[in-house]
Amino acid sequence: MAGLLHKESSLGYILLGPGFVFLAVMMAYPFFYAVFLSFTDKQMGADANFTGLENYAKLLGTNLFSKTVVNSLVYTLFALVLKFCGGLVLAVMLNRPFVGQRAAKALFLLPWIMPTVFSTMIWSWIYHPAFSIVNEVLIGKLHLLSEPIPFLRQETWAMASLIYVNVWRGVPFFGITFMAAIQGVSTEILEASRIDGANRWQSFWQITFPMILPVVIIVSLISTIGTLGDFDLPFLLTRGGPNDATTLFSLTAYTLTFSSGFVGLGAAVTMTMFPLLILLVIASLISVRRQEAN
């Protein structure tokens, strides 16, 4: 036994063992079980019968599913672009020395740190149909609007409101990681480019940005995967409404499985994320490899 623990290779397997077993039982096995369930008519409390591709055919025929796919893509794409731009602005801004910089960095990270469930409750109060502070200020105090904004009650507004909260929460994450990457860029190269006559704008886009690009890509991919699988925001703010305008993959799968009891159908919904997810994971692996090679 002592010999096994002393040898590098056997100790390696012993140390990896618990993690490997855990992830195999709690992640790999459920994954294959989900593939199996998606080919069955499994309902809550009933036995599963193999039905082949029936669940997938059923999904393709429903409005709910096509809306789920479109919503998820719109939500992820808009949120990603906005978080990316906002994160870049935040990173450049916080990178410049100013009075109270440390405090600002700590405070600006709060939307990302604070529990999503509870900060989203505050947003649901801010978006209140009758007592929204935004509407009160815009209509009552500033007289900029005459009609209240239907934040969560009109389809387009509801999607926009959800995206806004996702961006609000995610921008600090993008900002802090981008800032860490910017700080890794050598100041000597930047100064050299200044001497060569480049202005701030040019040296940012020609030197800093290409150098932080690997990190930018990894952060964006990780965030894309998280956003695509988001459950908390649509569940807490809209329950997928109005008219299924804000339901995403996870909420649709949740509703079908736990509210309606169609486990097979719910599993099929999560499986339809798989092709997109695989592409994102492969892209992440490639960019992490590149980052390592640098």
Partner 1 sequence: MNLARHSRKAFRATPFYFLLASVGFILLFPFYWGFISSLKFEKDIYDFSGNFLLAERPNLLNYGTLFGTPHVFTWFWNTFSVSVATTAIAVTISVMAGFAIARLRFRGAAIAGTLVFITYLAPRTFLFVPLAQILNGWGLLGTLPSLWLTYPTFLIPFCTWLLSGYFANVPHEPEECAMVDGASRVSAIVRITLPMAMPGIITAAIFSFTASWNELLYAIAFVSGGDNKMLTNGIVGVFIGGDYFSWGPLMAAATVSSLPIAILYFFFTDRFVSGITAGATKG
Choose between 10 and 186: whose C-beta lies nearer to partner 1. 10
Q: Degrees (nearest 5) of the Cα angle 257, 262, 265?
A: 90
d(CA 197, CA 187): 15
Taking the C-alpha atoms of residue 140 and residue 130, their distance in angstroms, rounded to an integer, is 13
Residues 141-170 that bind partner 1 (CB under 8 A): 168
The helix-helix angle for 101-108 and 63-95 (nearest 10°) equals 170
**Among residues 47, 188, 196, 292, the one that binds partner 1 under rule CB under 8 A:** 292
Question: CA–CA separation, 91 vs 34, rounded Å?
Answer: 40
Binding status of residue 136 toward partner 1 by CB under 8 A: yes
Greatest alpha-carbon span in the chain: 80
Q: How far apart are CA 199 and CA 195, in angstroms?
A: 9
Could you say which residues in the range 180-209 bind partner 1, by CB under 8 A? 180-181
Nearer to partner 1, 207 or 273 (CB): 273
The residue within the footprint of partner 1, chosen from 39, 75, 204, 235 (CB under 8 A), is 235
Residues 6 or more apart from 48 whose CB is under 8 A from it? 36, 37, 40, 41, 42, 263, 264
Complete DSSP assignment for 89-129: HHHHHHHS--TTHHHHHHHHTHHHHS-HHHHHHHHHHHT-T
- Decide if residue 228 touches partner 1 (CB under 8 A): yes
Candidate ranges 31-39, 73-81, 146-154, 186-194; the one touching partner 1 (CB under 8 A)? 31-39
Cα-to-chain-centroid distance, residue 97: 30
Per CB under 8 A, does 55 bind partner 1?
no
Compare residues 142 and 196 and give the one whose CB is closer to partner 1. 142
Considering CB under 8 A, how many residues would be counted as binding partner 1? 99
* Selected binder of partner 1 within 160, 232, 261, 276 (CB under 8 A): 232
Closest approach, Cβ 210 to partner 1, in A, equals: 16
Residue 249: name the closest of 282, 274, 278 by CA.
Answer: 274
In residues, how long is the chain?
294
Least Å from the CB of residue 175 to partner 1: 9
Q: Within a 10 A sphere around the Cβ of 55, how many other Cβ atoms?
A: 25
Q: Contact between 23 and partner 1 (CB under 8 A)?
A: yes
Residue 284 near partner 1 by CB under 8 A: yes
Q: Nearest approach, Cβ of 242 to partner 1 (angstroms)?
A: 14
Q: Compute the least distance from the CB of residue 141 to partner 1, in Å.
A: 8
Residues 93-132 that bind partner 1 (CB under 8 A): 93, 96, 98, 104-119, 121-126, 128, 130-131
The minimum distance between CB 228 and partner 1, in angstroms, equals: 7
Distance, CA of 165 to chain centre: 12
- Check binding of 267 to partner 1 (CB under 8 A): yes
Q: Minimal distance in Å, beta carbon 188 to partner 1? A: 21
Q: How far apart are CA 216 and CA 219, in angstroms?
A: 5
Residue number with CB closer to partner 1 (190 or 288): 288
